[in-house]
Structure 1
Amino acid sequence: MANQARDEESQKGRPSTLPLSTASSQETASVENVSVTSSMEDAFEPKWPRSWRAYACWLGCFFLMFNSWGLVNAYGTFSSYYVGNSLRDVDQLELNLIGSTQSFLVLLFSAPVGKLLDAGHFRYVVATGTFLVPFGLFMLSVAHPTGDAPASFGSIWATQGLVVGLGMACFFVSSSQIAATWFRRSKSLAVGVVACGASIAGVVYPAMIRFLIRKLGFNNAVRGVAGLAGVTCIYALLFATPNPAHVHPKSQSYRKLSTWIDKEALNNKAFCWFTAAVAFLFLGFYPVFFNLEEWAAVSGLGTRGGSQTPVRPSAPTTAPMQTYFMLMIMNGASTIGRLAFAFFGDYTGALNMHIATQIISSLLIYLLWTLAGSTAAAIAFCVFFGMFSGSVIGLPPASMANILNCTYTDPSTAHFAHSKLGQWTGMMYSAAAIPALIGPLIAGHLVTEYSTYITVQLWSATSLILSALCMIVTRWYLPTVEGTHISTHLYRFFGKHDRADDAEKRRPSRATVDSKRPLSRSTTRVNSKAPSRQMSEVKIETAPEAAVLAPQRDI
């Protein structure tokens, strides 16, 4: 107490310094360690990590995405084989149920998986998926009959939809969250490269399946896919580990609802609107991938094996191009879009880039897919939609990080922008689980009911445009890079400077909203000429242990 009194006396009359906190040394150290360490890391950390472990982890996270959404993207090839062979008498709605079950489970378990990752249980999560995904695919090869005998829909759904889907759920959030701990200054690009695993798998798996089916039959083809998935999963299990400097806050009790659901997120309008945007996104996104091959077949724009289609072809299917090539082209173009738009997202803001690509994707469905009457037009749609849709489906984690960076700007709470990323991202995806399940089912029912794929096209386009509108509302509630809000800029643009100033004054201070102990909103503190001996000692001794990864603010 005597030392603190002398420090306070030495600080009196110095306008360039902040008043010393009266909190206990332990509380002060915990706040100061976060703000000081984050500032030092931002100043001295290189743009790209210098450790080989970061890039080995990056590849491992790529494989995690490769075996999660990558298998979902490749399901269209499975569906095309089923409808023409072993499940040729099954309704299109039921066929879509297998793929939508996978996406439903991946999203449903995103919140608990994200929380487990935040708590440091990444090894158990990845190990579970490493077992379930290859095991489920191998059991599919066992349950599926050989030759042209009809298959049991229930067994295929249980193995490919349920077991594989549960394994994929362990990989999805893990891929982006683990990679983000290593790449603080290039988060959007790093997550974008990881997201390319889904689109590249959408090229590799369909080609592999079709080739092996012709050479070895469907059952052996699935065993080959299971082998590739097993090898890449084992690599990810060994190398996909978070940065050791990343802090994993331990939960008090996993039985409490507050452990799994962050009430601050539910009270955040930007989070709620963006979650609604992602829900509409999954309502209409995967019906495009699940029904693309069958649309091309019944429209006479491509050929595929099998004898029946759920809709009578409008023209003889004598086109020389195989339908699964269209799915490969779309996924290949998606890789370019994920990389390019993720790169620019680091400069324009991930959410801003997300809004633009979402609007363009919906317009491509409205204008290009519905009017495609030739193979060339169909390929053009696959290329352009693939590019922009790759950004649409790959940017939600980066956009959520963007929202967190603009929410926790006070030095005392800035570390939450990263420590809550897994939980908020998981909550967002879990809320989209039901739309991801019913979206393809509704699209399949529309095809069966009206015998035309224009219903799927309009359904997907409308869902994506509604998602874009929700993203625009999200952007309305977030500040710009200068710290002001869009309403203020609009008032000033129309010459209403008085109303702009009043709008900013009515907004509560971020320090008041986000912190119980308000601190300076400056990113760095003014150096004191007489620093506390106690605080100087704490900074030196505890900074390495309290290293927290606070991502850049990019809106």
Structure 2
Amino acid sequence: MGIPLTHIDEVPPGERSSSINSSITPDRSDSSAKEHTEELEIGVQQNDTQKAKSWTAQIPTFPEGGLHAWLTVLGGTMVTFCTFGVVQSFGVYQDYYARIALPTRSPAQISLIGSLQVFFVFAIGLPAGRLFDAGYFRVCLAGGSLLYIFSSFMLSIAQPGHYYQFLLSQGIGMGIGMGFMFLPSLTITSHYFKVKRSLAMGIVIAGSSIGGIIYPILLNNVFSSSAGFGWGVRAVAFMDLGFLLTANCIMRTRLPPLKASQNAGGATFLMVVKDLPFMLYVLGAFLSFWGIFVPFFYLQVHASLHGVDPVFVRYAITIMNGASLFGRTLPNFLADYIGPLNVMGPSAFISASLIFGMFGASDIAGVTTFAIFYGFFSGGVVSISAPAVGSFITHPDLSDFGIRIGILSFALAFALLTGNPIAGALLTSNHIWYRPLIFAAVVVFAGSACFALIWKSVSTRRKSSKI
């Protein structure tokens, strides 16, 4: 008997022809048997061709530029300016709340407001990533913009001493709004870039550094003027409204939504969590983010308590974010050539070493030097964390990109939620500075060690990958 037609696909393509011929018995060696064999061979070849075309069609192409691509990058930069730029400026709020608005609250309780904010930026990334993959990018961007602006105006009318008002409006409301905007606005660059993906994402994330330059100057000066806290926050809200309206108008997706079978379902999720090098990378990123934002939250307070000129202190966070602007673009440019992890690992190690330099930030020269160097190298860690996920992608159709980004963001959310409050609790109201700084340095060192452990595995995968 010959091979049943329903099982032909089970035979390897290279052996199908010989298997079919050998399965035909001598009593069918006449012309009809030959014709039957030829028809089967033609059918198998057509089936192989169709499967090859179908698989090739799933692999997206990347324009690597163009008007729509760069407008989308510009829009993403505006989004990160309005979202993560505020997160990186929380040191201004930390200082103001501790001295004026919430003087009875501990440093840990105050930092929880900023930590909740940044927690939601990343934690909401998991459902926002699913919505993005399903084709709801505009819903995420518009809905997040509305919630963020509304919460900003609610923060402007929060009353001094009423801790829950600041926590609800800034920590929860603004944080959730940011979360629905941030990750989709970053991920959408993958629709347009592959070779230049790290650079494009770095430019988008650099918007947060620009925000981190402008917001502290604006807020510090308005908070200390007759306009006060309320109008300072409202001024920022009106500025953010203009940028977010522009971003909603110019950003657009390019690739079609993933089908349900392509989306990050159970099989893909299990495949990703079983990828040990990737999970070790997630652990390293968690440890790095656990401590890397401690100086951003506490540098201004540290400088103020050590007698640095109050006028100069207002610009400490601005200097750090100005340096991080270069740290979020130049290393990303290099990462496109030598690999993201080859840049992120050394940046994390140097950042951990520099945290000890904050002990010397007790005068203008010390604050300036620390802010410049730490801002640059920590910027490389923050900006490359998302592009580095591309080093682990195994599917040419990028079907595992969304779930990998989602897992990373969810892990980072808990690092950012707990890192700064832990530092605040270690600091205590007596301001024992060596405790939070040693904590931050140790965990960032541990993160860089994780990156070193998977360096060989990722380098091999990157060289063999054609994605």
Q: Does 1:128 align with 2:143?
A: yes
Residue number among 399, 406, 416 corresponding to 1:426 in the alignment: 406
Q: What secondary structure is seen at the aligned counterpart in 1 of 2:307?
A: coil
Map 1:511-526; keep pairs closer than 5 Å. none
Partners of 1:98 and 1:91 in 2: CA distance: 12
Give the conservation status (yes or no) of the 8 Å contact 1:248–1:419.
no
Give the conservation status (yes or no) of the 8 Å contact 2:295–2:355.
no
Q: Does 1:102 align with 2:117?
A: yes
Partners of 1:369 and 1:295 in 2: CA distance: 9
Residue 329 (structure 1) aligns with: 319
CA drift at 1:179: 1.9
Residue 451 (structure 1) aligns with: 431
CA drift at 1:248: 2.1
CA drift at 1:64: 1.4
Partners of 1:262 and 1:479 in 2: CA distance: 23
Give the conservation status (yes or no) of the 8 Å contact 2:391–2:461.
no
Q: Aligned residue pairs: how many?
A: 431
| Structure 2, unpaired ranges of 5+ | 6-12, 19-43
Residue 328 (structure 2) aligns with: 338
Q: Does 1:376 align with 2:368?
A: no
| Structure 1, unpaired ranges of 5+ | 2-6, 13-19, 145-149, 304-320, 485-520, 524-549, 551-555
Partners of 2:384 and 2:139 in 1: CA distance: 26
Residue number among 151, 173, 190 corresponding to 1:180 in the alignment: 190
Q: What secondary structure is seen at the aligned counterpart in 2 of 1:384?
A: helix
Residue number among 201, 207, 219 corresponding to 1:197 in the alignment: 207
Give the conservation status (yes or no) of the 8 Å contact 2:262–2:399.
no
Q: Does 1:235 align with 2:255?
A: no
Map 1:38-437; keep pairs closer than 5 Å. 41=61, 48-50=64-66, 52-144=67-159, 150-213=160-223, 214-243=225-254, 246-251=255-260, 258=266, 262-303=269-310, 321-366=311-356, 368-404=357-393, 408=394, 413-415=395-397, 418-437=398-417
Higher helix share: 2
Q: What secondary structure is seen at the aligned counterpart in 2 of 1:451?
A: coil
Q: TM-score, normalised by structure 2?
A: 0.86
Give the conservation status (yes or no) of the 8 Å contact 1:118–1:419.
no
Aligned-pair RMSD on alpha carbons? Answer: 2.8
CA drift at 1:452: 1.5
Give the conservation status (yes or no) of the 8 Å contact 1:67–1:171.
no
Give the conservation status (yes or no) of the 8 Å contact 1:447–1:456.
yes
Partners of 2:94 and 2:317 in 1: CA distance: 12
Q: Does 1:32 align with 2:36?
A: no
CA drift at 1:297: 0.9
CA drift at 1:105: 1.0
Give the conservation status (yes or no) of the 8 Å contact 1:21–1:28.
no
Q: Which amino acid letter does the alignment assign opposite residue 430 of structure 1?
A: F
CA drift at 1:375: 2.1
For residues 231-284 of structure 1, the C-alpha deviation after alignment (integer angstroms, 9 at most, x for no partner) is 1111111222222xx232122699x9739x711110101210111011112211
Residue number among 411, 418, 424 corresponding to 1:438 in the alignment: 418
Partners of 1:431 and 1:481 in 2: CA distance: 23
Q: What secondary structure is seen at the aligned counterpart in 2 of 1:170?
A: helix
For residues 442-499 of structure 1, the C-alpha deviation after alignment (integer angstroms, 9 at most, x for no partner) is 1111111663112121111111111111111222322437847xxxxxxxxxxxxxxx
Residue number among 439, 448, 457 corresponding to 1:477 in the alignment: 457
Q: Which amino acid letter does the alignment assign opposite residue 258 of structure 1?
A: G
Partners of 1:420 and 1:253 in 2: CA distance: 9
Q: Which amino acid letter does the alignment assign opposite residue 251 of structure 1?
A: A
Q: TM-score, normalised by structure 1?
A: 0.73
Q: What secondary structure is seen at the aligned counterpart in 1 of 2:329?
A: helix
CA drift at 1:70: 1.1
